[in-house]
Amino acid sequence: MTITKSQVTVDDLTFDVAVGGPEDGPTVLLLHGFPHNSASYDGVVPILNDAGLRTITVDQRGYSPGARPEGVQAYRIPNLVADVIGVLDALGVARCLLVAHDWGAIVGWQLAARHPERFTGYVAVSTGHAGAISEALEHSEDQRKKSSYIKFFIEEGSEEKLLARNAVLLRRTCPRDAIGPLQEPGALTAALNWYRANFTGDIAANTACGRITIPTTMVWSDGDEALGREQAERTGGFVDADYRYVELTGVDHWVPEKAPERLAELIIERAETA
């Protein structure tokens, strides 16, 4: 299947977008997380296209060079949500299946809660509902430990430390092909601003999310270094629709890159029931 790359302008921001698969196939929108851009789905997209699904991937705010505004507050969750709706509107997509990983899944939960009419279903990968994460942080020492890295990310100047010595700190934990784009001027600062804009101050208010009323699949992997079992297992309590919880064994946090075949299978299953 041919992948067509283009740019979509929403307000004054220009996003890099790729569309693949049959034009008349059910549409799947895939949102990436931190710190990888939409290339994180390179192993997933061809499988979905071969299954007859039309795919849309987008480098989100801060990851597209033409959508990299200055200032922390530009990266608040309402702006990230509005970007996605704007891209769908620009592409003429009224409804689609939503798939999202890591930070993209935080945006995904907000999209599902605020705009359920736009999505036939949701496949959340790694990151559970904000309410479930809040409960896990309250009750689980494991989750508190796993989330401790965020304090470093929101510190002023953390990008310089992460990029020092040819980004050795990032290379220890992140997919290799995520590093190059982050070394572009301003790219890592923009990516870290997702944390700084929403994970400081009144975090509960910044990330509060409504209940979910669309069919949902929660995918979590038991080797996840950042997001623990409790937040994943508690997520079903926030979904008022058909719900499936799937645990992948022997897979770390980078599910789209490390288990693309299994993730694609779960996406196809959700698309068939949407």
Q: What percent of the chain has pLDDT over 70?
A: 100
Q: Environment class of residue 44 by beta-carbon count within 10 Å: exposed (0-12), middle (13-18) or buried (19+)?
A: buried
Where are the domains positioned within the chain?
A: 3-273
User: What tens digit of pLDDT does each residue of 74-91 get?
Assistant: 999 999 999 999 999 999
pLDDT score of 204: 87
Q: Environment class of residue 21 by beta-carbon count within 10 Å: exposed (0-12), middle (13-18) or buried (19+)?
A: buried
pLDDT score of 230: 97
Positive/negative CA dihedral, 72, 77, 80, 85: negative
For the segment 106-116, the average pLDDT, to the nearest whole number, is 98
Q: CA torsion, points 43, 48, 53, 58, in degrees to nearest 10?
A: -20
pLDDT score of 64: 98
Residue 28 pLDDT > 80: yes
pLDDT score of 2: 86
Q: CA torsion, points 48, 213, 117, 205, in degrees to nearest 10?
A: -100
pLDDT score of 121: 98
How is residue 234 written in tokens?
Answer: 């508690």
Distance CA 150, CA 159 (A): 13
Distance CA 46, CA 48 (A): 5
Q: What percent of the chain has pLDDT over 90?
A: 96
pLDDT score of 236: 98
For the segment 172-192, the average pLDDT, to the nearest whole number, is 95
pLDDT score of 85: 98
Residue 40 pLDDT > 90: yes
Which CATH architecture describes the domain 3-273? Answer: 3-Layer(aba) Sandwich (3.40)
User: What tens digit of pLDDT does each residue of 213-228 get?
Assistant: 999 999 999 999 999 9
User: What tens digit of pLDDT does each residue of 131-161 get?
Assistant: 999 999 999 999 999 999 999 999 999 999 9
pLDDT score of 1: 66
Residue 122 pLDDT > 70: yes
Determine how β-strand 13-20 pairs with β-strand 3-10: antiparallel
Residue 233 pLDDT > 80: yes
How is residue 241 written in tokens?
Answer: 């629709």
